[in-house]
Amino acid sequence: MVKFTRSERPLVKSIVATLTIKRVPDAEIIDEIEKQTHKKISRQSVTKIRQHIKKDSYKWYQTLRQGHYEYIHEFKERINEIIWLQQKHHEIIQKNLSNPQIQQASLIELHKLNLTLSNYFDVAPDIIGNNSISTSSQDHDKAIPTREKEESIIV
C-alpha cells in the first residue's frame, strides 16, 4: 500500500471526492492521483479513501444535526468570512486606483462574493426557521421539531 505524506492526504481525498462527484471512473481517478502525487494507488485504495470520506462526512453531519445551533454558528461563520473577504477586496480596489487590472480582478471576485452572500441570505430563514423561540404556548409546540421532522431534514 502506498503511503502519502501529511500534505498529500488532503489532496488525494480532494481528488477522489471531486472526481467521484463528477462520476469519473476509478481508472481516471488513479491516473489523476498519480499525475499530482507521482504515486500510483490501487482501485481498492480509491474505494477505501471514498469510504473514509463518507465516514468523515457522516460524523460531521451527525454532529451538526444533533446540535442545530452549532450548524447555525458554522453558517454564520461562513457569512462572516465572506463579509471579511468583501472588505479586503474593497481595500484592494482603494489601494490600487492607478492599476485598473488589479481593480478589475478584485471587482470580479467581489461580485462572486456578493452572489454567494446573497444565496446564503436566501437560505438563512430556512436554516434558522426551526430555531425560533416563541413565548406563546401554541407557537412553542410548533417551534420544537419532533423526532420525525428532525430525521427528514436534508442538509
pLDDT of residue 95: 95
Q: What is the pTM of this model?
A: 0.49
Output the tens digit of pLDDT for each of the chain's 155 residues: 678 889 899 999 999 999 999 999 999 999 999 999 999 999 999 999 999 999 998 888 887 777 777 778 888 899 999 999 999 999 999 999 999 999 999 999 999 999 999 888 888 887 776 544 333 334 434 443 444 444 444 44
Q: In terms of C-beta density within 10 A (0-12 exposed, 13-18 middle, 19 or more buried), how is residue 68 classed?
A: middle
- CB neighbours of 87 closer than 8 A, spacing ≥ 6? none
Domain ranges of the chain: 8-61, 68-152
Residue 22's φ and ψ, nearest 5 degrees, are: -80, 5
Residue 102's φ and ψ, nearest 5 degrees, are: -65, -40
pLDDT of residue 153: 47
pLDDT of residue 1: 66
